[in-house]
Structure 1
Amino acid sequence: MVEEHTVMTGTRTYLPDPSIRDQATMQEIETRHREFRDDPGAFWDRVAGELEWSRPYAKVREWNHPHARWFIDGRTNITRNCLDRHVNNGRRNKVALIWKGEDDEERVFTYRQLAREVCRLANGLKSLGVGKGDRVCIYMPVVPEQVISMLACARIGAIHTVVFGGFGAGALNHRIVSAGAKVVITADMTLRRGKRIPLKSVVEEAVVEAPSVEHVIVLRRDLEQPVEIHAEIEVDYYGLIGGMARDCTAEEMDSADPLFILFTSGTTGAPKGIVHSCGGYMVGAYYTTKNVLDLKENDVYWCTADPGWITGHTYVVYGPLLAGGTVFLTEATPDFPDPGGWWRMVQEFGVTILYTAPTAIRMFMRFGDDWPNRCDLSSLRVLASVGEPLNPEAFEWFYRLIGKEKLPVVDTWWQTETGMHMITTLVGEPMKPGFAGKPIPGVVADVVDKAGNSVPPGTAGALVIREPWPSMMCGVYQNEERYRQYWSTIGTCYTAGDMAVKDKDGYFMIIGRSDDLIIVAGHNIGTAEVESALTSHKAVAEAAVIGKPDPVKANIIKAFVILRQGNVPGEKLKNEILHQVRMNLGPVAMPSEIEFVDSLPKTRSGKIMRRLLKAKEMGIDPGDISTLED
């Protein structure tokens, strides 16, 4: 159902099907908004009260800018709420996790079975000397053991840092060393488009100069030709858990204790380790999964993200398990062996909630309507998007073809740092293609000028969050100054680094980054990290990279490279440089284009002006160039 009216971009407004946009749903949304406005502390107290605490918290929040403490002095363990609570309260035999491999292998875990496997690995980690506060790096493919590893760390109070399995040895080493990881959990290989991609060999290279690592646990998936285990440091996954007890008492964690570190690419310098706490993160993940994604008891829920990213942490693992959902997980890529794979899985497994990325949607658009039309998608009831703004064309296709012009499309904006959804269109609310939506109940967002003043509707400004929220990061690992920058760039607000526009109805449109972060196919890639990988090649003297708009990936990376004297540009050298980036960072961060240049635009203080490179590339006005050196 469509109601047309003009907003600043001339977008259309879609009203959900009447069965979704009922009076009770709209009243519930308004009630949550009103309850939060009236008493934020009581609002979050009610949410947290739906979860189990081994020791009740004394106070909901203390706010001493820029640090907030949530659910003060409360004690819990997130796995007690993800597993034990359901095992003990009627969901013992409910399916928690369904996994499908690229080779059509399937595995199913009930909540009882998942809890048992988590406890076995938790006991195995303890046998290796891992305890509360120790860091464990998880570098794995999308398999059940990846989820089990995260939960096993949380069970014993170890802090996990999950690294995306597409990163190369250099990026992995940096994250291991930065976290001071005591143990690395990996696998022999991952399957991708019918090929076996080795992971263990990447880890072997990454730990050579990682003195904190005492053990590497290896999941051997290829049992016909098992990789060799080097006994001096490596441990076989199955051998480790084989004799372990199926029960493991959950470590009692203070609400403020760290749960995980997730490294996200920085705009300058090294990747920053975002730290999330046990209590606040748990409440935010639970609340948004239940109320934004509308997860119900009988749903089969599929978030297509890799657990190596924050979306996978919150909306593949913790959020849906906290809410007692049935999670579908797959190693398969969207277009292999053909572009119909995902739609066949929706049909086969009866997926009801599909949470995916605009990049995937745009890719499917290229293949036309035939592939999804071959499948019965009638099980779906909620569609959702994450990663970068869902452009209107992609929204229209998703809504029309997959949603049959009936289903809600939940376009979520949030970040690694926020830990949970912040701005979206809730199920039942009118949808505006190109607009993420409004701040959800519990979030105070605004669009402001440099002084922190709200700008009028239709005016671009910086996106900020004015008040703390439970799942906000509790720090940047070993970098207090960097954490404080988030809360001091514009007044006392949290500065998201995104530019936005708000319309007269309060809907937010995210229009791009205000810093040097590049979002490629939903992955946050820092310019500094790519430039460092480029300059590590012996022929490269200096490099700068920008994001260049792409119809499928949202952006591709273009590199501008200055060569050292005596080196001649050419295809062979270009391929060598690209290979260097692949080896350091993995294919996700490889530039799609390299241009050899004689100089780079810089400020008088020597900072590369990437926006000038981008403006020239896109043929637009570069704006103020008063600080340009030459």
Structure 2
Amino acid sequence: MGKAVWFPNKELTEQSRLGRLMAKVGITDVDEFYRRSVSDVGWFWGTVEQDLGLVWDRPYQKVLDTSRGIPWARWFVDGSFNVSVNALDRWVNDPSSRQRLALIWEGDDGTVQKWTYRELWTEVNRIARGLQELGVAKGDRVAIYLPMVAENVIAMLAVARIGAVFTPCFSGYGAEAVAVRLRDSEAKVLITADGFLRRGKTVAMKEEADKAVDQSPSVQRVVVVRRLGREIPTTSRDLNWTELRSNDRQPLTAAPTDAADPFMIIYTSGTTGRPKGTVHVHAGFPIKAASDAAYGMDLDDGDVLFWMTDMGWMMGPWMVFGTLLTGTTMLLFEGTPDYPHPDRLWKLVETHGVTHLGLSPTVVRALMKHGPQWLEGRHLDDLRVFGSTGEPWNPEPWQWLFEKVGKKRVPIWNYSGGTEISGGILATNLMKPIAPCSFSGPMLGMDVDVVDERGESIRGEVGELVIRQPWVGMTQSFWQDSDRYERTYWKRFPDVWVHGDWVEVEKEGFWYITGRSDDTLKIAGKRLGPAEIESILVDHPAVLEAATIGVPDADKGEVAICFVVLKPDVDEAEELRGELLRWVGEKMGKALRPRVVHFVRELPKTRNGKILRRVLKAAYLNQDAGDLSSLENPDVLTEVRSSSVNR
């Protein structure tokens, strides 16, 4: 750890969007620029807004107002700003940009559609008019339960255009998970599809949508996108997407929305209780996403961004607004990265000229097992940056992506934040050397610290990640639950956001996330993140994936329990179990050796690859796991509970 393997060249540092912004404000050193960005956060976000060339219906009077306290900071005070105008109209109004490619879609079956900014703007206007005719007004909530299709993006922008609020729902949710979000947001309309394709098979959606609506009295109409044209049940409340498209082709003037008006409620799962509805505003989430994409990931003119995600996860809307507010191109993909062949992802990158590719360590591990031969013959020269978020790296997949795929040429932009953040807290800085699995440190405008149990700054040991000042994009409370918002983030230390990550800053200056606070183990008085043990396990030649939890122990307070997915050609021998225990003990120390290693077929994950350790722990201890709506593979919990019985 701590040894750099990728180094920026002078051309990159000078010609990058960050380099150009620094030159504009007369700062040549990136560390000095960071210090300036947090010594005066109002100055920084005002500078970003101006550099992005955003359009205001009414100019703001003040960048930042904290008169109600830091948890309730207001940005771009008294400004009128509609995100749909900034995503589309300002490009369409310019003859030099209206024919740029805005969106590429590829289906699981290989079908491809492309939309220019003008074409996307035209369709958004027609759907916005249709929603108005349906009775959707400013402030109404519209839930979007769609697969990764162009209509998903169109619906989001159309809802925002008329001043309503959309709630994106993960396409893999069952009826109950969708119903929870419909009821909590009191959605007036649900937009769904007849189904979609996944690994060549039909996945039904309309039937689940109907069950959800039956449990949600606020929903008046259901709009159905006919992705597959399959036979589906219909009711009097249903309306086809093609019927919603207004015949009036005249441009629809966007609603005059305040900078602080909500445009999106996106839910994030909690360990207990109902999911948290994070409220995001027109001049919040989109500006933070665009800033991170432009000055963090260096997304620039002519670039194509593809992030393996779903619109129900934060990175889906992040991709939409990160591209459209920077005038670049997004790629949406309905399918999976290894179907029908293990080179599907690399084929997508080659075919569509992807320059910025976002994927999780889990996806990389899954592709690694097929071998590097699937990269042969693929021309990936357009790739400039890899992006990664959602979970910590371990060295082997990081090195495989960097060396085998990127040929040591393409940097890995490690990125960590959250749904409540609208993007990143920590990231790799592409103007600095990069060490495997690391972060360079806090992102611009994010006043980040690592503290001990008393809230005092520490370095060289694991501590709690906190944010000391407000930032553009911070959630404006939870939907109809401001008390829970304050309890969750602001009660531990006065006016300090406690994010819930354990972080260590090494003496070389590289930052590492060791796990979530609620995942952290404390064995014989020593605190360590599960990623520390997991990285050692996956370094063993027999291990494909690993997850670690802590369980109570009378002698040590807590002990580690490990779950391991073996590589396909490895047998679950008892001797191997003992070997893995010794392997960790030799590297971590005998006191930190796990109590047991369990072999499992797979680990509980979300569709975007995040391992749900809290779910693993709850199943193992036979406790309530809280909200399971984001779990992609609930069947694995039976195997975990079986391990618990035999422990």
| TM-score, shorter chain, exceeding 0.5 | yes
CA contact (8 A) 1:99 1:330 kept: yes
Q: 2:259 matched to 1:255? A: yes
Q: 2:501 matched to 1:498? A: yes
Q: Which of 82, 85, 88 in structure 2 is aligned with 1:83?
A: 88
Taking structure 1 as reference, are residues 242 and 351 closer, same or farther at Cα in structure 2, changes over 3 Å only?
Answer: same
Q: CA deviation at 1:560?
A: 3.5
Taking structure 1 as reference, are residues 246 and 335 closer, same or farther at Cα in structure 2, changes over 3 Å only?
Answer: farther
Q: CA deviation at 1:366?
A: 1.3
Q: Which moved more, 1:323-332 or 1:235-244?
A: 235-244
Taking structure 1 as reference, are residues 29 and 591 closer, same or farther at Cα in structure 2, changes over 3 Å only?
Answer: same
Partner of 1:539: none
Q: Please tell me the residue identity of whatever aligns with 2:383.
A: L
CA contact (8 A) 1:133 1:158 kept: yes
Q: Equivalent residue of 2:270, what SS?
A: coil
Distance of 2:413 and 2:156 partners within structure 1: 27
Q: 2:110 matched to 1:54? A: no
1:220-259 CA distances to partner (integer Å, 9 max, x unpaired)?
Answer: 1233x443532x2111111121524352111111111111
Partner of 1:187: 193
Partner of 1:16: 7
CA contact (8 A) 1:123 1:245 kept: no
Partner of 1:67: 72
Q: Which moved more, 1:285-294 or 1:411-420?
A: 285-294
Q: Which of 472, 480, 483 in structure 1 is aligned with 2:482?
A: 480
CA contact (8 A) 1:55 1:75 kept: yes
1:512-533 CA distances to partner (integer Å, 9 max, x unpaired)?
Answer: 11126999xxxxxxx9xxxxxx
CA contact (8 A) 2:127 2:246 kept: no
Q: CA deviation at 1:484?
A: 0.5
Q: Equivalent residue of 2:512, what SS?
A: strand
Partner of 2:133: 127
Partner of 1:514: 517
Partner of 1:470: 472
Q: CA deviation at 1:269?
A: 0.8
CA contact (8 A) 1:501 1:509 kept: yes
Q: Please tell me the residue identity of whatever aligns with 1:254.
A: D
Distance of 1:93 and 1:111 partners within structure 2: 6
Q: 2:119 matched to 1:113? A: yes
Q: Please tell me the residue identity of whatever aligns with 1:138.
A: I
Q: Please tell me the residue identity of whatever aligns with 2:384.
A: R
1:253-291 CA distances to partner (integer Å, 9 max, x unpaired)?
Answer: 111111111111012211110111111223212211111
Q: Which of 189, 209, 215 in structure 2 is aligned with 1:209?
A: 215
Partner of 1:42: 43
CA contact (8 A) 1:164 1:306 kept: yes
CA contact (8 A) 1:21 1:429 kept: no
Distance of 2:245 and 2:501 partners within structure 1: 45
Q: CA deviation at 1:476?
A: 0.6
CA contact (8 A) 2:104 2:112 kept: yes
Partner of 1:278: 282
Q: Please tell me the residue identity of whatever aligns with 1:68.
A: A
Distance of 1:130 and 1:114 partners within structure 2: 21
CA contact (8 A) 1:167 1:588 kept: no
Q: CA deviation at 1:597?
A: 8.4
Q: CA deviation at 1:42?
A: 1.8
Partner of 1:609: none
Distance of 2:154 and 2:415 partners within structure 1: 27
Distance of 1:136 and 1:58 partners within structure 2: 31
Taking structure 1 as reference, are residues 480 and 22 closer, same or farther at Cα in structure 2, changes over 3 Å only?
Answer: closer
- Structure 2 gap segments, 5+ residues each: 20-27, 521-529, 532-548, 550-560, 567-602, 604-608
Q: CA deviation at 1:48?
A: 1.5
Q: CA deviation at 1:70?
A: 0.5
1:404-451 CA distances to partner (integer Å, 9 max, x unpaired)?
Answer: 111111000110010022211122311121222211221111110122
Q: Please tell me the residue identity of whatever aligns with 2:3.
A: R
Q: CA deviation at 1:34?
A: 4.6
1:530-588 CA distances to partner (integer Å, 9 max, x unpaired)?
Answer: xxxxxxxxxxxxxxxx9957688563653548999xxxxxxxxxxxx99xx99x77644
Distance of 1:487 and 1:467 partners within structure 2: 12
1:151-177 CA distances to partner (integer Å, 9 max, x unpaired)?
Answer: 111111111100101011111111110
Q: Which of 308, 322, 327 in structure 1 is aligned with 2:325?
A: 322
CA contact (8 A) 1:396 1:433 kept: yes
Partner of 2:296: 292
CA contact (8 A) 1:57 1:75 kept: yes
Give runs of aligned pairs for residues 156-555 of structure 1, distance below 5 A: 156-223=162-229, 225-230=230-235, 232-241=236-245, 243-314=247-318, 316-455=319-458, 457-485=459-487, 486-515=489-518, 555=611
Distance of 1:19 and 1:589 partners within structure 2: 49
CA contact (8 A) 1:52 1:81 kept: yes
CA contact (8 A) 1:418 1:472 kept: yes
Distance of 2:261 and 2:15 partners within structure 1: 38
Taking structure 1 as reference, are residues 97 and 494 closer, same or farther at Cα in structure 2, changes over 3 Å only?
Answer: same
Distance of 2:15 and 2:473 partners within structure 1: 28
CA contact (8 A) 2:265 2:280 kept: yes
Q: Which moved more, 1:465-474 or 1:550-559?
A: 550-559
CA RMSD across the alignment: 2.9
Taking structure 1 as reference, are residues 350 and 137 closer, same or farther at Cα in structure 2, changes over 3 Å only?
Answer: same
Distance of 1:305 and 1:113 partners within structure 2: 24
Q: Equivalent residue of 1:14, what SS?
A: coil
Q: CA deviation at 1:30?
A: 4.2
TM-score (norm 2): 0.80
Aligned length: 550
Q: Equivalent residue of 1:238, what SS?
A: helix
Q: CA deviation at 1:122?
A: 0.7
Distance of 1:505 and 1:14 partners within structure 2: 14
Q: CA deviation at 1:363?
A: 1.0
CA contact (8 A) 2:337 2:345 kept: yes
Distance of 1:197 and 1:415 partners within structure 2: 28
Q: Equivalent residue of 1:132, what SS?
A: coil
- Structure 1 gap segments, 5+ residues each: 1-9, 520-526, 528-545, 565-576, 599-612, 618-630
Taking structure 1 as reference, are residues 216 and 155 closer, same or farther at Cα in structure 2, changes over 3 Å only?
Answer: same
Q: CA deviation at 1:506?
A: 3.6
CA contact (8 A) 2:41 2:471 kept: no
Taking structure 1 as reference, are residues 322 and 382 closer, same or farther at Cα in structure 2, changes over 3 Å only?
Answer: same
Taking structure 1 as reference, are residues 472 and 285 closer, same or farther at Cα in structure 2, changes over 3 Å only?
Answer: same
Q: CA deviation at 1:596?
A: 5.2
Taking structure 1 as reference, are residues 205 and 256 closer, same or farther at Cα in structure 2, changes over 3 Å only?
Answer: same
Taking structure 1 as reference, are residues 57 and 310 closer, same or farther at Cα in structure 2, changes over 3 Å only?
Answer: same
Q: Please tell me the residue identity of whatever aligns with 1:324.
A: G
CA contact (8 A) 1:136 1:158 kept: yes
1:426-479 CA distances to partner (integer Å, 9 max, x unpaired)?
Answer: 223111212222112211111101221011x22111111111101111111111
Q: CA deviation at 1:299?
A: 1.1
CA contact (8 A) 2:8 2:432 kept: no
CA contact (8 A) 1:307 1:317 kept: no
Taking structure 1 as reference, are residues 516 and 39 closer, same or farther at Cα in structure 2, changes over 3 Å only?
Answer: closer
Q: CA deviation at 1:17?
A: 5.0
Q: Equivalent residue of 2:423, what SS?
A: coil
